[in-house]
Structure 1
């Protein structure tokens, strides 16, 4: 059966890294996905965790009765800037080592290229994986990738094609519900095509920026390339959760023991505890088949 994990980002400002397992347990979650944190693996920087911190984190998770099924690092592995790409490969290599030391089988990440340089970014992506893929496969780690808004590939089907081009079952897809409308709003057709290569689903709501003939959000100057999305509580946006979970159910994702759903609301920090409890309740209903 699919597992439901908490993204602890809303508590980064108020709790230490070692407190996150206790936060998850207190809110009713059995699982926790570690997100970029200054003491562990910050955005775009070399990881800062050492063996002592890894041991302490493993103990705190065990004491809380919480597992850590996935890490979320973000590194510029598709950067057209070769210096940044080389640094990202080094940094992600260390993240893979940390995952193995923690006993974490999954790494969820992003492409992290540039949309104005799609060919150069795709080339950088494949060059990075020439180095990373042998390590990923040797260590038995599963790495899943999210086509994030403002990346060199944003459409879900195009992103799947890029991933498929690696020709490795060790690399899969992250379906982020709050990126639905940037990915082409194609859950019903994309999820069946992904099959078992869909490794993780992130659950947060968002508004459809395409509505009102593209004027639902107005940012200046006109014609700028800003991408807009939210990470709202389920039910507060435009995502069709019945369609999404219908596709997940019919594809068999919800029955897989290795499947993971991560609650990742970022818009309710002022009431993060209540938001997390709401998310867990709604996700359990959706997994159970109740719309």
Structure 2
């Protein structure tokens, strides 16, 4: 059975870090994805959790009767500015240690370079890999990477080529449903070429910003360098989940007990509890339908 995990981001303003495990269990989840949090692994900066906090979190997880499926750092390891990249590599080393100390063997992340400096960002990414791949392989950790909108690589097929170029079986791809249209609206093809190497899927919906001749969303002035995407509840947008799940079944994701499927909705904090339960039930129904 695929691991169905909760992204606790919608609850950051109402719950503390150590309350997340019990919250996840209360909402019917058996797994938690530890996304960026100011007390543990914040966005872009050095991890703030010390060994004592990591032990407390590990105990809270055990007491709640759930597990942490993955950690999710967002650090600028593809930053085209060398000082930024070097700092991100240092932060990554601490993230790897925290992940291992939590008893977790999976990390989801992003490329985190810049689209206007794509060539420099790719060089920076592979430079970081030279230092981090041996550490990640030694720890036995799997790292899955999401081609996020506004990154140096956004197209899904191009992202897989970059990941494949690392030449390590410890690396694979995160497929984010609400990034479908930025990745080229080709889920079947992406999931086919990355067969066996998609380890995490983020479940959320979005409207198709390319529809209506690109006028589904209008920004002023026209041509702004913006990326419009949403993380809506399943069924609230244009993503074809049946097509996506057919691809996930064909590439073996749905039959792999180590696969992680994470609820990743950020648009309904005002009813986060109801939304989280809805998401879990919707994911369970989609898995059952396509299993």
Q: TM exceeds 0.5?
A: yes
CA shift digits 1:8-49 (9 cap, x unpaired)? 000011110000001101100000000100100000000011
Look up the match of 1:23: 23
List aligned pairs for 1:57-76, cutoff 5 A.
Answer: 57-76=57-76
Query: What is the alpha-carbon distance in structure 2 between the residues aligned to residue 73 and residue 265 of structure 1?
Result: 18
Local SS of the residue matching 2:38: coil
* Farther-moved stretch of structure 1 (184-193 vs 155-164): 184-193
Q: Please list, as runs of the form range in 1=range in 2, the aligned pairs for 1:64-213 lying within 5 A after superposition.
A: 64-213=64-213
Q: TM-score, normalised by structure 1?
A: 0.99
Partner Cα distance (1:209, 1:197) in 2: 28
CA–CA distance in structure 2, aligned partners of residues 99 and 69 of structure 1: 10
Alignment of structure 1 residues 218-257 onto 2, 5 Å: 218-257=218-257
Q: Which deviations, in whole Å up to 9, do the C-alpha atoms of 1:147-166 show, x marking residues without a partner?
A: 00000000000000000001
Classify the secondary structure of the residue corresponding to 1:116: helix
Deviation >6 Å, runs of 4+:
none
What are structure 2's unaligned runs of at least 5 residues?
A: none
What SS class does the counterpart of residue 191 from structure 1 fall into? Answer: helix
Q: TM-score, normalised by structure 2?
A: 0.99
C-alpha RMSD over aligned residues: 0.9
Q: Which runs of 5+ in 1 are unaligned?
A: none
CA distance in 1, matches of 2:251, 2:129: 28
Deviation string 1:214-237 (CA, Å, 9 cap, x unpaired) is 111111121111000000000000
Supply the distance in 2 between the matched residues of 1:137 and 1:26 (Cα, whole angstroms): 35
Length, aligned pairs only: 291
Alpha-carbon distance in 2 for matches of 1:101, 1:263: 24
In structure 1, the partner of 2:214 is: 214
